[in-house]
């Protein structure tokens, strides 16, 4: 229950914060008039870049690597690897997402969708299944496939 509860509750915090920021008009995206669809797509891109930068730094900065390597110690790369993170890394990731919400003020729906996509893609690219080579070649142009991600974990 210790591991499951934070994983279910923590995504609610940035979503709630985004709703509050929108209500108060805080954050860059709340200050610039734009269609909701554009704000959502821009938010997804900003969050994706933010999490990519976080992951990059967790591999490059020794203190963060000491936390993140728990994820990389799994001998069998499978769906459970997508869930295996040091609790402190989960907290730091939450704080980084909340900082992104504070600065950019994304729509709450964008934060919610991003959390679903982030977790869904983590389960997809850590999966221990084979995708036919031709399909994998096409897919890896737009997403990280399990075969492609296997190299990252090797």
**What average pLDDT does the structure give for the chain?**
91
Between CA 31 and CA 105 the distance in angstroms is: 9
Q: Is the pLDDT of residue 16 over 70?
A: yes
pLDDT in tens, 125-141: 988 888 999 999 999 99
pLDDT of residue 108: 98
Q: Is the pLDDT of residue 2 over 80?
A: no
Domain span at residue 32 reads 4-153
Between CA 50 and CA 45 the distance in angstroms is: 8
pLDDT in tens, 81-118: 888 889 999 999 999 999 999 999 999 999 999 999 99
Between CA 140 and CA 7 the distance in angstroms is: 27
Lookup result for tokens 């490059």: 60
The two three-digit tokens of residue 128, written as one number: 């221990």
Between CA 11 and CA 94 the distance in angstroms is: 8
pLDDT of residue 81: 86
Instruction: Give the Cα-Cα-Cα angle 50, 63, 68 (nearest 5 degrees).
Output: 60
pLDDT in tens, 35-58: 999 999 999 999 999 999 999 999
Structural domains of the chain, count? 1
pLDDT of residue 75: 81
Higher pLDDT, residue 82 or 13: 13
DSSP state of 68: H
In angstroms, the Cα distances linking 49 to 18, 37, 78, 82, 146 are: 18, 18, 24, 19, 20
Q: Is the pLDDT of residue 1 over 60?
A: no
Residue pair 46/113 in contact (Cβ under 8 Å)? The answer is no
């Amino acid at each position: 229950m210790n591991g499951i509860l934070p994983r279910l509750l923590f995504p609610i915090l940035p979503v709630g914060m985004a709703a509050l920021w929108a209500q108060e008009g805080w954050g860059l995206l709340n200050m610039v008039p734009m269609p909701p669809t554009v704000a959502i797509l821009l938010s997804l891109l900003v969050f994706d870049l933010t999490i990519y930068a976080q992951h990059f730094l967790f591999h490059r900065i020794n203190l963060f690597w000491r936390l993140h390597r728990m994820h990389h110690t799994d001998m069998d790369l499978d769906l459970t690897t997508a869930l295996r993170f040091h609790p402190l890394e989960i907290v730091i990731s939450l704080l980084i997402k909340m900082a992104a919400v504070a600065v950019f003020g994304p729509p709450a729906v964008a934060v919610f969708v991003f959390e679903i996509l982030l977790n869904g893609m983590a389960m997809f690219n850590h999966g221990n299944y084979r995708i036919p080579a031709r399909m994998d070649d096409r897919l890896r142009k737009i997403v990280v496939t399990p075969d492609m991600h296997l190299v990252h974990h090797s």
